[in-house]
Structure 1
Amino acid sequence: MGQVEDTQRIQLDGSGDTPDGPERHKKHTGAIIAAGVAVAVLAAGGVWWAVASHQTTQLAQAQESCAQAADRLRVAQNNYNALINGDEYKTAVQVTDKQVEDSETVAVLAKDSQERTPAMVACNVDGKSALEHNAALIDKNTSWYETHTKTLDADVRGVMESRDAKTLKDAQTALGKKITDAKKLYDASKDKVKDNKTRDALKKQLDAAGNAKDGKDVQKIKDAQAGLDKAMKQVNGSVKAKSEADRKAAEEKARKEAEAAAAAQAQASSQAQQSYTAPQQSYTPTYTAPAAPQYTAPSVPQYTAPQQTAPVQPAQPAQPSKPNTGSGPVSGGHGCNEGNCSSTPDLGYIPR
């Protein structure tokens, strides 16, 4: 630079020649060329530095952008994991189509829950282009997590709301039926309970159940039903107790009546025995044989001496009638007991 200044000073002074002449001019020209080369080198270095600096800046920016994308992805993943690991999601995926009012909600949740999460992408790559490519993939994954988290959250709420709606409807229906049964029991148990306070308690529970039946609080509805169950059980127990007491009273009454009747019968029997004189056992049955028939013997025929003519046979006397005693007739004789009695006159019956 000193040589350039000297040259400029010579030119300003107007003195074109020096003591050295041409030699000095040559040195001056070489100095100018050297200066130009130096300037060119410096300029080239500046350009390279500028380019290198710009590339470094772009790489750093790409790295920063990828890191920021990774941070957003991390947040989205955390939200997604918090949802699927939460109690509400775990409960919803266990709900069946029979437990909800709209079974489509269960099917939708099951379908969306089956989608697979995207593959992991990181920023540990070299070069601006690679970083920008991965950053774009990371942003895409972030979008998936954010969208899918919202979708699953809506699915879960749909299932739970449908389940709660059916639960409420079922509870209201069950309470309505229980109220009907409780009213029938209340009416039928009139004058049939041992303790009427049980019916009063049932009436109080009926009023409370009527107020809770159309509400939206499932727990209150269930509590009202439980209150009715308890009150109905007490009334039924009181009805059974009175029935048992009435049965025992009836049995006791019947027993006393039977004892009284037996006592009255025993007393009447005793009085009858005191006023009745039994007859003497002096009667001996006798047997009177039928009277024997009187037998009248036939008159004795007069004997007339026979003429010398042939004797006339006398008529045979009539046989005596058979007596009623059943005994045989008394045999009679002809007065001839031995020998030939053909010539002996018949003298009739000779009793022995």
Structure 2
Amino acid sequence: MDEKDSMTPDTIPQSTPVDRTVPAGRKNRRPVVIGVAAVAAIALVAGGVCGYRAYENHRVSMAREACQSAVTDLGKTAKSYKALLGADATTAALKTDATSVKDAKTLDTLKQAVGAKTPAMVKCDASGKAGLDETAAKADKTTKAVKADAKALRAAVRAVESSKLDKTVADADGLYKATEGNVQDEKTREALKQAIAKRDAGAIAKAVKAVNDSTAAKTKADSEAKAKAEQEAQAQAAAEAAAQAQAQTQQSYSAPQQSYTPSYSAPQQSYTPSYSGGSTSGGGSGSSVPDFVPSSGGYGVEPDGSWHPGNIIQH
């Protein structure tokens, strides 16, 4: 057997008692360790506080940047909306008369769109993250509202312009139909028809002017031709009347001349010769010429035997 195995408990030697006392040097280091640990704990707490503050400051800084960005976007959107309100297209649409559009309701919609209030600006003057976040949210909400107002305004302006074009096309089409056969140059109506098909307001305006000018030219030419025809008709009628009068005059001049010779019969005179003096027989004396005065009633007999009024011949 091995010697170790043959040993009994009684034969096992007792170990020497262990001295558990701390050396004096190690006892002096314990307060140092505790102090270091306390300092480390304090430093750790201080570091945690500083870290938290740094973290919180970072969060506030980020919130402020986000707020400022939102406010900047709001400013740009509001500026764009103001520019849209003063744009030439908007001004022209606002000046449009109800008679110039096909649908007058578009003008009412435009007035409502222009009447939207311009939003008030906001500032990122909050000191905490919560306040900054609230301001940023308000700015974002206002920006969306302004963009919606701008979109509505653009749509209203386009609606008015479209309605104006509809009215222009309708009027041009009416002019095209009404001027058939009434223009001096038919090409002007063909150009108008093409402009209507393209819905080109500028081309329509140009074509409408050309058609109107051509219509006026034809009207003038027709009027002048009518006046000339009337003058010629009047001149011809006057010439015919003059010729007819001349013919009648010539006819009256060439009629046979009739001579009128007054005829009358002398009044019969009766008388009874009276004789005086001697006898016609035997040696008596007497005149062979009877002595009488004929009564002629104002007529006399000339010695040659002709009658002459007013003379009385006595023998």
Structure 1: tracts of 5 or more residues without a match: 1-13, 19-23, 187-200, 293-352
Match in the other structure for 2:219: 236
Match in the other structure for 1:110: 111
Q: Pick which of 58-67 and 75-84 moved more.
A: 75-84
Report the residue type matching 2:164 in the other structure: R
Contact 1:172-1:214 within 8 A present in 2 as well: no
- Per the TM alignment, residue 60 of structure 1 is displaced from its structure 2 partner at its CA by 0.9
- Is 1:47 the counterpart of 2:48? The answer is yes
- Per the TM alignment, residue 251 of structure 1 is displaced from its structure 2 partner at its CA by 4.2
Q: Residue 255 and residue 285 in structure 1: after superposition, are their counterparts in 2 closer, same or farther (change >3 A)?
A: same
Q: Residue 261 and residue 172 in structure 1: after superposition, are their counterparts in 2 closer, same or farther (change >3 A)?
A: closer
Residue-by-residue CA offset, 1:303-325 (whole Å, 9 max, x unaligned): xxxxxxxxxxxxxxxxxxxxxxx
Match in the other structure for 1:128: 129
- C-alpha separation between the residues in 2 aligned to 1:44 and 1:213? 84
Contact 1:66-1:123 within 8 A present in 2 as well: yes
Pick aligned residue for 2:209 from 203, 210, 226: 226
Match in the other structure for 1:71: 72
Residue-by-residue CA offset, 1:255-288 (whole Å, 9 max, x unaligned): 555555666666667767xx859668xx799996
- C-alpha separation between the residues in 1 aligned to 2:106 and 2:215? 39
**Secondary structure in 1 matching 2:120:** coil
Structure 2: tracts of 5 or more residues without a match: 1-20, 272-315
With normalisation by structure 2, the TM-score equals: 0.63
Match in the other structure for 1:36: 37
After superposition, residues 163-182 of structure 1 pair within 5 angstroms as 163-179=164-180
Instruction: State the Cα RMSD in Å.
Output: 3.8
Contact 1:63-1:131 within 8 A present in 2 as well: yes
Match in the other structure for 2:302: none
**Equivalent residue pairs, number:** 251
Match in the other structure for 2:158: 157
Q: Residue 207 and residue 290 in structure 1: after superposition, are their counterparts in 2 closer, same or farther (change >3 A)?
A: farther
Q: Residue 223 and residue 262 in structure 1: after superposition, are their counterparts in 2 closer, same or farther (change >3 A)?
A: same
Q: Pick which of 221-230 and 123-132 moved more.
A: 221-230
- Per the TM alignment, residue 122 of structure 1 is displaced from its structure 2 partner at its CA by 0.8
Report the residue type matching 1:67 in the other structure: Q
Match in the other structure for 1:16: 23
- C-alpha separation between the residues in 2 aligned to 1:115 and 1:208? 43
- C-alpha separation between the residues in 1 aligned to 2:147 and 2:246? 99
- C-alpha separation between the residues in 2 aligned to 1:106 and 1:241? 46
- C-alpha separation between the residues in 2 aligned to 1:142 and 1:213? 41
- Per the TM alignment, residue 49 of structure 1 is displaced from its structure 2 partner at its CA by 1.4
- Per the TM alignment, residue 204 of structure 1 is displaced from its structure 2 partner at its CA by 4.1
Q: Residue 152 and residue 29 in structure 1: after superposition, are their counterparts in 2 closer, same or farther (change >3 A)?
A: same
Report the residue type matching 2:200 in the other structure: D
- Per the TM alignment, residue 212 of structure 1 is displaced from its structure 2 partner at its CA by 5.1
Q: Pick which of 74-83 and 97-106 moved more.
A: 97-106
- C-alpha separation between the residues in 2 aligned to 1:268 and 1:173? 63
% same residue: 24
- C-alpha separation between the residues in 2 aligned to 1:230 and 1:98? 24
Residue-by-residue CA offset, 1:158-214 (whole Å, 9 max, x unaligned): 2322232232122212322232xxx2x57xxxxxxxxxxxxxx43444555555555
Contact 1:172-1:221 within 8 A present in 2 as well: no
Q: Residue 75 and residue 206 in structure 1: after superposition, are their counterparts in 2 closer, same or farther (change >3 A)?
A: closer
